[in-house]
Chain A
Amino acid sequence: MAGTVLKTEAVPVRSDADVVMVRQRVRAWVNEMQFSLVDQTKIVTAASELARNTLEHGKGGKLDISMLQNGYRKGIQLVFSDDGPGIPDVRLALTDGYTTGSGMGLGLSGSKRLMNEFYIQTEVNRGTTVSCIRWK
């Protein structure tokens, strides 16, 4: 996770309304950073998925948005953290179609494909932190 942090913002993820707010804040950031329209849509969609996971599976948490600078490149970093039940088997959770709820089981694997870098830190009964970056 290379790069200097230029700017950060924290957004709570505790309710459905917060998920809407996450999308709006991330959209404002990527718009300001002048990502292409396709990239903006990808990043906002990934944020929406991960925020919903934080809320539904992680029982609520927060998002930290940062703007990174790595040499000539700028990037946006999204860090979702919760202190929920954790993910017992990360490989399984990242399998397309795997869900412990009633979703499509595509949120986690899909958002990994939508971003450039993707890391999951998790411990059962402790919580989960998903951090991801998209470079411009």
Chain B
Amino acid sequence: MSQLLEAIRSNRDAVLNEWLKNMREGISRRDLIDDAEVSEQATRMLDAIIAVTDESRIANLAGSEWQPIKEMLADLSVSRAVQGFTPSETALFVLSLKPVLFQLIRERWGNKAGELFAEITIADNFIDRLALHTTDSYIAGRDQVIGRQQEEMLELSTPVVTLWDGIVALPLIGTLDSARTQVVMESLLQAIVRTNSRFAIIDITGVPTVDTLVAQHLLKTITAAKLMGAECILSGIRPQIAQTIVHLGINLEEVVTKAKLADAFRLALERSNRRVTRTNSATPAAAPAQER
């Protein structure tokens, strides 16, 4: 039966000091985190480890008594990921405890080969598994950061612009995967309500691929807009996209389409009983659209 936890407990202060010393030597990124914080984290961690009194549990990290320690490590890894530490720098926190434990074991069981070997193996496994857990959590932390950035980009890339009183436009740019299309289309519908618009122009000039999924989202949005009393005009269908849509068998006959955004805008103006004309005077024209 291992006595490792008891050995750590009765040498707590020495172990902690050695551990911190090792860490200071290993961590080069002093700029990212301060000493006091590291030593506070190490103290909490070590105290949590020696709070486990059942020696047999050290072989099984899945047990519930290790849960607080794993959570502590996970929090630490996530915050290191956000602070900009590399995965190996993050794992070093736990790994630098290993030589300290080895030293402790050697001092205690140095003259009993059997125990020495058994305790070293246990300590080795224990620390390795904590380190792996740290790395897994680190990656989860990174994924969270990436996920958040993606969400932010989703919002950034969905500008609904008011072209004129009662006319909004949604210039779509880039790959329309399912998640993004959903967000984009919802923000268009919201903008229609907010601005009380009668016309909405969806411009797909910047969309490289229109497949059945994208088409279905477009058609659903157009139908929903219609229900809210707004008419949609689809613009920016390039020749190669038009041919592909026809071969796919997608029916856009019910949809008002225009080759260019300018044409769609002109149509929306006409349908709302407005017209753009060129004036002969030297003063700049009031209307933003250009004459034919």
Contacts and interface: CB of A to CB of B under 8 A. Distances in A.
Chain A interface extent, by class: 20 to 34
Interface in A8-58: 16, 19-20, 23, 27, 37-38, 40-42, 44-45, 48-49, 52
B157 to A, nearest CB: 14
A6 interface: no
Chain B interface extent, by class: 20 to 34
A104 B220 CA distance: 11
Looking at chain B's contact residues, is the secondary structure mostly helix, strand, loop, or mixed? helix
B247 A114 contact: yes
A96 interface: yes
Looking at chain A's contact residues, is the secondary structure mostly helix, strand, loop, or mixed? helix
A110 B178 contact: no
Contacts of B209: 23, 41, 44-45, 48
Contacts of B249: 96, 106, 109-110, 113
Interface in B206-225: 208-213, 215-216
Nearest to B213: A52
A104 B250 contact: yes
Nearest to A107: B212
Contacts of A20: 175, 177
A110 B240 contact: no
A49 B244 contact: no
A16 B177 contact: yes
B248 A114 contact: yes
A58 to B, nearest CB: 16
Given A103-B216, A106-B212, A45 B244 contact: yes
Contacts of B240: 37-38, 40-42
Interface in B160-181: 175, 177-179
A24 B243 CA distance: 20
16 contacts: A16-B177, A16-B178, A19-B177, A20-B175, A23-B208, A41-B244, A45-B209, A45-B211, A103-B212, A104-B215, A106-B212, A106-B249, A109-B249, A110-B247, A113-B247, A114-B248
